[in-house]
Structure 1
Amino acid sequence: MQKGRVVFGAMEEVVYGDPAAQAVAAQMDRIGAQRALLMVSGTLNRTTDEIAKVQGALGGRCASVFDAMPAHSPRSAIIAATEMARAANADLIVTIGGGSITDGAKAVQICLANDIRSVDDMDRVANRPSPVAPTVRQISVPTTISGGEFSAMAGVTNEATRVKEKFAHPLVMPRAAILDPAITVHTPEWLFLSTGIRAVDHCVEAICSGEAHPYGDAQALRGLAMLATGLPRVKADPADLDARLDCQIGTWLSMGALSSGVPMGASHGIGYVLGAAFDVPHGHTSCVMLPAVMRWNKTVNRERQALVAAAMGHPNKDAGDVLDALIRVLGMPRSLREVGVCPEHFDNIAAQAMGTPWVPRNPRKIEGPAQVREILELAA
């Protein structure tokens, strides 16, 4: 008889297809928030009118705007945003942008609740299981599709150590996510498509996990099917809003298994290190690592990998090959060499990867750095 545990997150609503400005204002009405800190993409703020539209819809309820979050959510930027939130007496954080902004706001929630006021003071809450619960919550308008808005954890880069740290609490999951395909047309093609492969990675590692369960499978398999068809459609026609929305909904589904308790594996674990230590974008880490991890794992989860290939429309084919083909169709990098990572770095990457949350829970047991290096060599 099967047994298991399904965890439900703290998100209250997902709104899809409505314009972001209208949807953000409606969410503030719903929850009664009066002073929103907007944490937004600097590029979106400076080169489009999308942020101005949101500010216009909120009027006096927009307390301040922070638009200086670099990639990989470094500690110094978290502190700067936290201080802005304090000065504005914000009662809500609204994020409009990619995964680094979404994760950054999660960390800001924890810093506010735990009276964190300096980069060094963040040691008190980094990688800790039970910080003080956030009271200033978050609403997320994602412009990429890596799916971080559906997670209750954030990755923050410690600039001193070049290591990505976990900031987590059940309540850092946004209260609501707003999926507006129109706002994503400003996202650079490489970024939208590569973060789509990050979402594919969520689906695939969930399906292939040794801890998979039916609830997670249902979402991951459907999400994978939507992404496998939607991403090439966006590549072929960037103005196809229906395809973009399919990718956004597929991304939402891709996070169902992770947020309900299914762990990720070596692709995510190694990706953490590549991002923090080598500044490889999140999406590119999955483009490079996922097929290699699948091939290394195949001896222990061949039947689960067959589900992946079938969901992607290629039953009876090797899942690693199917993934490789999708990534190539999208024009994404397919080797560590292409993202600036050389074999002389492999030993350091392998050692760091063993300390991530996910490598120890890879479906094929990884006993030590030597086996991580085997995977890296497959992706070289």
Structure 2
Amino acid sequence: MTPAAGEFAVQAHERIVFGSPAGDAVLREAQRLGARRVFVVTNRSIAKLDQGPLQRLVDALGPLHAGTFAAMSAHSSSADVAGAALAARDAGADLLVALGGGSVIDGTKAAQLCLWQGLTTAEQVARLPEGAQDAVAPAPGAIRAIAVPTTFSGAEFTCTAAVNDEATRTKHVVSHRLLAPRSVVLDPAATLETPMGLLLATGLRAVDHAVESFCSPTAHAATEALSIQGLKLLARALPAIAKNPLDLAARHIGQMGVWQSVAPVAAGVGVGASHGIGYVLGGTYGVPHGETSCVLLPAVLRFNAPVNESRQRELAQAVGAPGDDLPGFIANLVTSLGLPGNLRAAGIARADLDDIAARALAYPAVLANPRAIRSAADVRRILEAAW
């Protein structure tokens, strides 16, 4: 039997740290890396907390703290990416720390690219070409980052960054191997101040990573176990967190599930229409990342069932889904967690569906869906099912 051809991209992380308070772990990592001017990127909601994760981190860094950019917006706007890069440059930063969810971490990764290339304006960021930036060789010792996630988005484990161009209301994704954080610090206590709805919704985003990577035509033996384990951990952790928000053990299990679920995507396995259409809902219509997965994933799975029903059944059996019904299991999980289960609940009007369907065709993940999507009418079928 001839083995199938494939590849497994290895990210440029140096270590994943867990089991320690985030401030202590970041300080140790900064010292290990020889950093002298550590610059933090976060968002306004985290910065406003009284003795929240930002204050604890700054206190731990002490004199190594060179400044903070606390204005990264949801969906990582090109203006905020440029602003973070300028602020870090003005502070003389030699190490970035991304403290927040997917938008903060993606924005920090993109800000690194700005610092490498000398980009200073939102227009320059918006003109970055889609896809790999590996032709850009950063200078030796170029600035890198540490990530401290406060949600379950999984952005800390990838070398890609989704940036929103506010002028066109579209997202584009840039990547470079060295955009992956040098270190990832997983501290469940860093998630305690995250609003419960946001935390659980990003957990569904992680479920989406696990499901779409397992069902992808590009999945292989080295990634399948990661997808399954990620889904099993998340299916265990999310209801436990909802039941007892102070359960740090459950939050730790959730972080492990996030790590496992996104690892196949970071390794190069493709995702499908749930992610791709979700980019439109997020970038154009402002729906939070996690909520896009809540409302789209069951509908996309049902659309794809004619071509990958057996793969869906494997995942359903792994989590004990009644009747081996994976879409039903996920839809019930969404409902049980109090998250929006359809496009109406996410604030999408029926009049928007044609625009969403047309825009979705511009995203590679839609075109890579396991069941071929050839037209806006195909996308509209999914949207109607999610309505």
The TM-score normalised by the length of structure 1 is 0.97
Aligned equivalents of 2:127, 2:307: Cα separation in 1: 39
- Which amino acid counterpart does residue 173 of structure 2 have in structure 1? K
Q: In the alignment, does 2:327 pair up with 1:309? A: no
1:177-196 maps to which residues of 2 (within 5 A)? 177-196=184-203
- Which amino acid counterpart does residue 51 of structure 1 have in structure 2? L
For the Cα contact (< 8 Å) 2:81–2:125, is it kept in 1? no
Range with greater deviation from structure 2 (129-138 or 209-218): 129-138
Q: 2:46 maps to what in 1?
A: 44
Q: 2:23 maps to what in 1?
A: 21
Q: CA deviation at 1:12?
A: 1.2
For the Cα contact (< 8 Å) 1:110–1:167, is it kept in 2? no
- Which amino acid counterpart does residue 17 of structure 1 have in structure 2? G
Q: CA deviation at 1:313?
A: 2.1
Range with greater deviation from structure 2 (7-16 or 279-288): 7-16
Q: 1:332 maps to what in 2?
A: 339
Identity %: 44
Aligned equivalents of 2:203, 2:126: Cα separation in 1: 32
Aligned equivalents of 2:19, 2:358: Cα separation in 1: 43
Aligned equivalents of 2:318, 2:195: Cα separation in 1: 27
Q: In the alignment, does 2:41 pair up with 1:34? A: no
Q: CA deviation at 1:123?
A: 4.0
Q: 2:182 maps to what in 1?
A: 175
Q: Which of the residues 237, 245, 267 maps onto 2:244?
A: 237
For the Cα contact (< 8 Å) 1:153–1:167, is it kept in 2? yes
For the Cα contact (< 8 Å) 1:350–1:372, is it kept in 2? yes
1:1-380 maps to which residues of 2 (within 5 A)? 1=2, 2-49=4-51, 50-130=53-133, 132-134=136-138, 135-314=142-321, 316-380=323-387
Aligned equivalents of 1:128, 1:258: Cα separation in 2: 15
Question: Residue 372 of structure 2 aligns to a residue in which SS?
Answer: coil
Aligned equivalents of 2:232, 2:61: Cα separation in 1: 37
Q: CA deviation at 1:31?
A: 1.3
Alignment length (residue pairs): 380
1:57-105 Cα offsets, whole Å, 9 max, x none, are: 2122111111111111111111111110110111111011111100100
For the Cα contact (< 8 Å) 2:312–2:326, is it kept in 1? yes
Q: CA deviation at 1:132?
A: 2.2
For the Cα contact (< 8 Å) 2:66–2:91, is it kept in 1? yes
Aligned equivalents of 2:227, 2:110: Cα separation in 1: 27
Aligned equivalents of 2:356, 2:300: Cα separation in 1: 15
Aligned equivalents of 1:7, 1:28: Cα separation in 2: 26
Q: CA deviation at 1:311?
A: 2.0
For the Cα contact (< 8 Å) 2:43–2:73, is it kept in 1? no
Q: CA deviation at 1:42?
A: 2.3
Range with greater deviation from structure 2 (203-212 or 311-320): 311-320
| Structure 1 spans left out of the alignment, 5+ residues | none
Cα RMSD, aligned residues only: 1.2
Q: CA deviation at 1:124?
A: 4.1
Question: Residue 338 of structure 1 aligns to a residue in which SS?
Answer: coil
For the Cα contact (< 8 Å) 1:63–1:90, is it kept in 2? yes
Aligned equivalents of 1:77, 1:122: Cα separation in 2: 10
For the Cα contact (< 8 Å) 1:133–1:171, is it kept in 2? no
Aligned equivalents of 2:274, 2:187: Cα separation in 1: 28
For the Cα contact (< 8 Å) 1:73–1:104, is it kept in 2? yes
Aligned equivalents of 1:129, 1:15: Cα separation in 2: 27
- Which amino acid counterpart does residue 173 of structure 1 have in structure 2? A
1:220-240 Cα offsets, whole Å, 9 max, x none, are: 100100000100000000000
Q: CA deviation at 1:315?
A: 6.3
Aligned equivalents of 2:111, 2:339: Cα separation in 1: 32
